[in-house]
Amino acid sequence: MPNFLKKLIVKPGAKVRLRDIDPDYHGHHESKEHALPDIQSHVQRMDELQYLMYAEKKHSLLIILQGIDAAGKDGVIRHLLTGMNPEGCRVTGFKHPTEQELDHDFLWRVHPHAPGKGQVAIFNRSHYEDVLVVRVHELAPKAVWSRRYDQINNFEEQLATENNTTILKFFLYISKEEQLERFKQRLDDPARQWKISDSDYAERKYWDAYIKAFEDVLHKTSTDVAPWYVIPANHKWFRDLAVSHIINRALEDLKMKLPKPTVNLDDIRRQYHKAKAAAKAS
């Protein structure tokens, strides 16, 4: 594993202090132009590996994206979908739960969107909102949300062991200054003004509380079967490079193979040649 990947993974049980991580980190690449050949290579490799997963239909992949507002979750999704066939990939965004969802346990709304064999599922936000937003805004008492770490770990272990689901969780980490700059870009760019919400600036006063909540999430829910990666995301190109590289390495480790044909190829060839001869005669 390249050195920068070792820097990004959160080992099970490790305590993370986000202030010790540089959100401007960009590995050995000097710029987007310098990194572009690697980025394009990763996209091509993702396409090949997803095709294998879809054909073999023995494994599935769950990608979870979390981050402060404007961290780049949508951007990562656009990047990943340039290297994945949408037929085998589904994206689900988890916003404020509906009344029906609130009437059930917090994992109820998530489980139906887990990937089936051969499929890739991408979560834009996820069940982790129930130990992040719920905690920061005190939507449930600590006695309730503090139990959810173990419940999440058990849920993810079930997906991994019972459905051969590879789970990769990415915390996209930007600085407070970078977030403010991205908010300004939204204001200045008519094509992005639709993304502005009343909560953008209001939520900034909870920055420290969110950072603490994320640190606890990383510490308590990074496991062998569902590791967290902290992705320095001030540079969008490095964010995309790192995420796609990690996904490719995880899929390569599955040693997937194309399935054998389910039909007699000699019979199919004979049918082909017969059909070709008939077409030529006509």
* Across 66-70, 96-100, 200-204, least confident range: 200-204
pLDDT band at 2 (very low <50, low <70, confident <90, very high): low
Q: Rounded to an integer, what distance in angstroms lies between the CA atom of residue 111 and that of residue 90?
A: 14
Rg (CA), the chain: 22
Average pLDDT estimate for 195-201:
83
Residue 256 has what pLDDT? Answer: 97
Joined together, the tokens standing for residue 271 give 């049918």
Number of domains within the chain: 1
Q: Residue 166: which domain range?
A: 3-281
For residue 1, give Cα distances in angstroms to 8, 95, 105, 224, 249: 11, 35, 38, 16, 8
Report the mean per-residue pLDDT for the chain: 95
Residue type at position 281: A
Average pLDDT estimate for 3-29:
93
Q: Rounded to an integer, what distance in angstroms lies between the CA atom of residue 84 and that of residue 263?
A: 27
Closest CA to 244 of 33, 65, 39, 4: 39
pLDDT in tens, 54-93: 999 999 999 999 999 999 999 999 999 999 998 999 999 9
pLDDT at 159 over 70: yes
Domain of 138, CATH number, reads 3.40.50.300
Joined together, the tokens standing for residue 155 give 């849920």
> Is the Cβ–Cβ distance between 226 and 156 less than 8 Å?
yes
Residue type at position 31: S
pLDDT in tens, 226-260: 999 999 999 999 999 999 999 999 999 999 999 99
For residue 143, give Cα distances in angstroms to 87, 139, 199: 41, 12, 27
Residue 3 has what pLDDT? Answer: 67
- Beta strand 228-232 pairing with 9-10: antiparallel
Residue 225 has what pLDDT? Answer: 97
The conformational region for residue 164 under phi > 0 = left, psi -120 to 50 = alpha, else beta, is: left
Residue 1 has what pLDDT? Answer: 42
Predicted model pTM: 0.95
Closest CA to 173 of 122, 202, 215, 143: 215
DSSP state of 223: -
> pLDDT above 70 covers what percent of the chain?
99
User: Edge-to-edge, what's the strand order for the sheet holding 228-232?
Assistant: 9-10, 228-232, 165-173, 60-67, 120-124, 89-93
